[in-house]
């Protein structure tokens, strides 16, 4: 298990449990685990952030949150990729309470239900709350929609239907946050 020197706060991922890169993965690996821990580093509607880890073709990552994700009203989890207008790379999101058995949200070929759809607006320097689904950007997920009451672990899998060039292929993870 890779762990950052200091916990990133109760709303973010605190450790990388596993990382299985797919073909064409690699961008951001030299900055693991810190690159996927803590708040997102969004660049807004028209520019994707480079503060990401590329999973590669069908690569996956499992992170442990520094708090419990609990089903409440509306969104419970935010996943931040680096999409920008006209360029999306989708990922399938799953959650688990024990880190062994994961329940996934359905993810369609057109991006419905996937992560990697909406631009990341929150950045530590712009004052946008990374836990607020109405302003942070990223993609919101409701545990109730998949019949889960609570989770501690989040798994993201590249769909295998993205572009895979060089060492920056596939889903690019920036951060996770527990929605408030």
**What CATH code is carried by the domain that includes residue 164?**
2.60.120.260
* Contact by Cβ (8 Å): 130, 78: yes
| CA–CA distances in Å: residue 148 to residues 6, 70, 74, 105 | 29, 8, 13, 11
* Per-residue pLDDT reduced to its tens digit, 11-34: 999 999 999 999 999 899 999 999
Instruction: Provide the domain limits for residue 144.
Output: 2-178
Residue 83 pLDDT grade (very low, low, confident, very high; cuts 50, 70, 90): confident
Q: Tens of pLDDT along 149-175?
A: 999 999 999 999 987 877 778 999 999
Per-residue pLDDT tens over the stretch 44-54: 777 778 899 99
The predicted model scores a pTM of: 0.92
Summarised one tens digit per residue, pLDDT across range 84-103 is: 767 789 999 999 999 999 99
Domain count, the chain: 1
């Amino acid at each position: 298990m890779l762990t950052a020197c200091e916990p990133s706060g109760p709303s973010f991922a605190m450790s990388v449990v596993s990382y299985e890169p797919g073909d064409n993965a690699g961008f951001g690996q030299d900055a693991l685990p810190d690159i996927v821990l803590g708040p997102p580093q969004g660049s807004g509607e028209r520019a994707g952030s480079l503060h990401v880890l590329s999973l590669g073709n069908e690569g996956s990552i499992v992170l442990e949150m520094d708090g419990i994700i609990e089903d409440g009203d509306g969104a419970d989890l935010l996943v931040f990729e680096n999409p920008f207008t006209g360029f999306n790379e989708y990922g399938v999101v799953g959650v688990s309470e024990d880190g062994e058995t994961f329940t996934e949200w359905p993810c369609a070929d057109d991006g419905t239900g996937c992560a990697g759809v909406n631009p990341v607006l929150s950045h530590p320097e712009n004052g946008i709350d990374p836990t607020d689904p109405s302003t942070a950007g990223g993609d919101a997920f409701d545990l109730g929609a998949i019949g889960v009451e609570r989770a501690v672990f989040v798994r993201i899998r590249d769909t295998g239907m993205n572009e895979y060039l060089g060492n920056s292929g596939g889903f690019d993870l920036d951060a996770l946050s527990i929605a408030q």
